[in-house]
Amino acid sequence: MTEPLILGIESSCDETGVGIVRGSDLLANQVASSVEEHVRFGGVVPEIASRAHLEAIRPTLDRALAEAGVDLDQIDAIAVTAGPGLMGALVVGLSAAKALAWALDKPLYGVNHLIGHVGVDLLEHGPLPQPSMALLVSGGHTNILRVGDIATDVEEVGTTIDDAAGEAYDKVARLLGLAYPGGPVIDRLAAEGDPTAIRFPRGLTARHDLEKHRFDFSFSGLKTAVARWVEVRRREGGEVPLADVAAGFQEAVADVVTAKAVDACQFYGVDALLLGGGVAANSRLRLLLAQRCEAAGITLRRPRPALCTDNGAMIAAVGAELVLAGVRPSSLDISANSGLPVEQVSL
């Protein structure tokens, strides 16, 4: 089959996403977010997220079909996030996808959300180089991956041993009294600060750590260091320079993740790097990674920020790759897997 028309549904966290692609062409990308409903709780409340998905799924689907100018019966296959994510949120999208697949008599593909983040750039910059390395930085995961055919061949090279990068952003924002989600807020605030004013620790970069954890990450020590710095400053009765703290924290995250990703490319002899996940929208990370990749002769594939955060188009994109690779569709009785391992592309 050439250029399959794929509908992708995403509901793993607080964004209801429906995307439509034809092969690697993006036809529609509609996202409804419930983030405003979670702000006052300082984090995603699963029950509220599930309910919001239920309300948003039909209208978001209708908007995507209208944007793409296609009818449901033209769709060749339905791709849906099967995990990882919040169980109650995942099942809303998965149930909708199963109902559509059954009613339309079309194949269903249960897709790994994380692989959606890794592969989404093919919608913007065309086919992915094989092999590629991938730097995945999201709210719940931080990984370095070696990617052959994205439909069938993903190998974990490194992971976080504690918090994820996005989680660190959200926790640091919280301790600074900033709004949820912390990533975009710190990104904006840091632009007004001096990234060299305070030097925060770079996790797992000391020589003895590199022996065992060369491509792994740790952000909980960084979070604690920020908390302690702020606490000492407050105890001394001084004003906390929020912009400098944000910039120093952001520099520590960007420095570590970019250095390790480039090191992994060089270690494995791979000259293409895919960037993905919500934190990939971060302005400092994008710039520093581009500079370091250029200096190292690595081709960086960097999707635009709107495609970095959760959406249905990335799921549709992986769905198209699965169809083209001849991967067998999922059974209609698959279950959502909130802890789906990153190496498992589809269910």
Residues within the interface to ligand KG4 (CB under 6 A): 13, 117, 138-140, 166, 169-170, 181-184, 187, 277-279, 281-282, 309-310
From the list Zn ion, ligand KG4, none, partner contacted by residue 116 (C-beta under 5 to 8 A by kind):
none
From the list Zn ion, ligand KG4, none, partner contacted by residue 183 (C-beta under 5 to 8 A by kind):
ligand KG4
CB of 275 to ligand KG4, least distance (A): 12
| Cα torsion 30, 34, 36, 39: sign | negative
CB of 346 to Zn ion, least distance (A): 17
Residue placing its CB nearer to ligand KG4 in the complex, 64 or 173:
173
Q: Which helix H or strand E contains 117, and what residues bound it?
A: helix 113-119
Residue placing its CB nearer to ligand KG4 in the complex, 22 or 223:
223
Q: Does 138 bind Zn ion (CB under 5 A)?
A: yes
Scan for tokens 């697949």, then name that residue. 101
Residue placing its CB nearer to ligand KG4 in the complex, 216 or 310:
310
Are the C-beta atoms of residues 80 and 347 closer than 8 Å to each other? no
Dihedral over alpha carbons 292, 298, 299, 304 (to 10 degrees): -30
Instruction: Return left, alpha or beta for 3; rule: phi > 0 is left, psi -120 to 50 is alpha, else beta.
Output: left
d(CA 140, CA 121): 20
CB of 284 to ligand KG4, least distance (A): 8
Residue placing its CB nearer to ligand KG4 in the complex, 187 or 244:
187
CB of 303 to Zn ion, least distance (A): 12
Q: Does 143 bind Zn ion (CB under 5 A)?
A: no
The token duo for 123 is: 């919608």
Residue placing its CB nearer to ligand KG4 in the complex, 119 or 182:
182
Cα atoms in the 13 Å half-sphere on the side-chain side of 222:
36
Site string (267-306) toward Zn ion, x via CB under 5 A? ----------------------------------------
Residue placing its CB nearer to ligand KG4 in the complex, 161 or 325:
161
Q: Does 14 bind Zn ion (CB under 5 A)?
A: no
CB of 166 to Zn ion, least distance (A): 8
Cα atoms in the 13 Å half-sphere on the side-chain side of 277:
26
CB of 114 to ligand KG4, least distance (A): 7
Residue placing its CB nearer to Zn ion in the complex, 187 or 310:
310
From the list ligand KG4, Zn ion, none, partner contacted by residue 219 (C-beta under 5 to 8 A by kind):
none
CB of 326 to ligand KG4, least distance (A): 28
Scan for tokens 């079909």, then name that residue. 65
CB of 74 to ligand KG4, least distance (A): 29
From the list ligand KG4, Zn ion, none, partner contacted by residue 166 (C-beta under 5 to 8 A by kind):
ligand KG4
Among the listed residues 15, 251, 310, 321, the single contact to Zn ion using CB under 5 A: 310
d(CA 242, CA 248): 10
DSSP notation for 2-50: -S-EEEEEE-SSSEEEEEEEETTEEEEEEEEE-HHHHGGGTS--HHHHH
Q: How far apart are the first and last CA of the chain?
A: 21
Residue placing its CB nearer to Zn ion in the complex, 171 or 292:
171
In terms of Cα–Cα distance, which of 15, 7, 20 is closest to 97?
7
d(CA 89, CA 329): 22
Residue placing its CB nearer to ligand KG4 in the complex, 81 or 346:
81
d(CA 88, CA 241): 40
Type of residue numbered 111? V
CB of 20 to Zn ion, least distance (A): 19
Interface with Zn ion (CB under 5 A): 138, 310
